[in-house]
Chains A and B, each alone.
Chain A
Amino acid sequence: MKAFRDTWLVYARAMTLNLKQPVWLVVMLIQPLYFLIFFAPLLNGLDGAPGFEAGAMETFVPGLIIMMALFGSTFVGFGLIAELRAGVIERMRVTPVSRAALLIGRTLATVTTTLIQALLLVVLAAPIGGLTIYWPGVFLMFGIIILTSFMLGALSYGVAIVLKSEDTLAPVLNTFVQPIMLLSGIMLPMALAPAWLQSVADFNPFYYAVEAARSLFEGDMGANAIWQAAAYIGALAVLLVWWATRKFARAVA
């Protein structure tokens, strides 16, 4: 009970901070919109080609939404470093607040903003890409967004608390997030990949997330990728939240 209350308190503080800077909500949307306007049209000629059987936009837009969740959540650790330096985390660690709440409250705030961004992107992308939205599928896709954002937010906060410096955090996160993005088939479907690249992608949980998002957008609710994405990313989320909570409990700022 106490842990839930504490999580809510930490969440409410993080959300208040987010809402005071609504400009970030928009800034994070700009990158996917660039892709949608300046890159997606290049794919139009591939409509119906291998990998694009469902249509070019129908293939690209779901991946774009996963990409936004990927980048939006991976870099939240930067905000934590400023708070670490200012002694905010230390101040809270001296109170009887639940250690898990310190991490989970913040991570849930990241999930919330990512969901709002994803919803805005779906609404904006549909008319631009000429898509019809299949809402039941989109809602299930939001489930995958929640897991993705939860896992990556926790990871980012955990890494931030270990590294304690923006200068090292940026390259570390980039080194990790770039191959994950490329190996997930966001830009071009993995169906185009040679066998070895496909085999590597099979180990990338975000490959399944992108595939699942595409199936759900189409309305194919029975695709294997859906439960695979939920299982892999869900398991990783549990593991990383556990790890990051330990880092929060022992942080030496």
Chain B
Amino acid sequence: MNATASSNEAVSTRIFRALMAVFCIAVLLFLITPVIAVIPLSFNAEPYLTYPLAGVSLRWYATVFTSDNWLHALKSSLIVATATTLIATPLGTFAAFGLMQLGSRTRRIVTGLLLLPLAVPAVVVALALYISFSRVGLANSYAGLIIAHTALATPFVVVTVSATLASFDYTLLRAAASLGSGPIRTFRRVVLPLIRPGVISGGLFAFITSWDDVIIALFIAGPQQRTLPRQMFSGLREQLDPSIMVVATLMIAVSVVLALLVFVAKRKSPA
């Protein structure tokens, strides 16, 4: 290898590196721009979704927050997501804790079964639930929607809590038992405080699963249970004005806050 060749190589490497950096920054921008771009549009003074903005105003926020339809949808979403979180979190937490103590063979099978809802396309789940629920009177009801969202949300709780439990010291259980503590008491006093970050993250995942769902709501919810994403979906297909962008902005904000909470919970994790 002579000197010119190696300096040529150095130059081409540098050019390659620069191109690579440009390419990667472009991809990063591709990822973030659409999400960011909708936010200013929600402040547009005119009913258009184009840049440059005609002026800045809060009129679309006023429209959304005085509209019966949007407020009703917001309320439905909050009811369903809260109930889903409150049911899915304990169910998933207990199951994850139990799973850890099963034989590895049983555990694999049961885990596979419990995580199944993650693998099945949403439309298939929605159809299956619609067919079954309409037979037992659960279609077009809050209860049906909450059950459906809980089924989709529990796998997230199981996985998140299991991840925290991986670093759990099982000798603590024996120590507690030898001190005369019953299993329930041990769980509440010993286990729960240690795995709390995982439980909180799992709960947040459960909330966002329900909060973001549109397909299940489209299939099995009635007009009384119309959620925010469902209202947004019909809005997108018929009247695309900045009020949709207000709701989009709101949903982005909720996602960001929840993501931050998960991040904080992980940081506080003792592991």
The yes or no verdict on A and B being binding partners is no
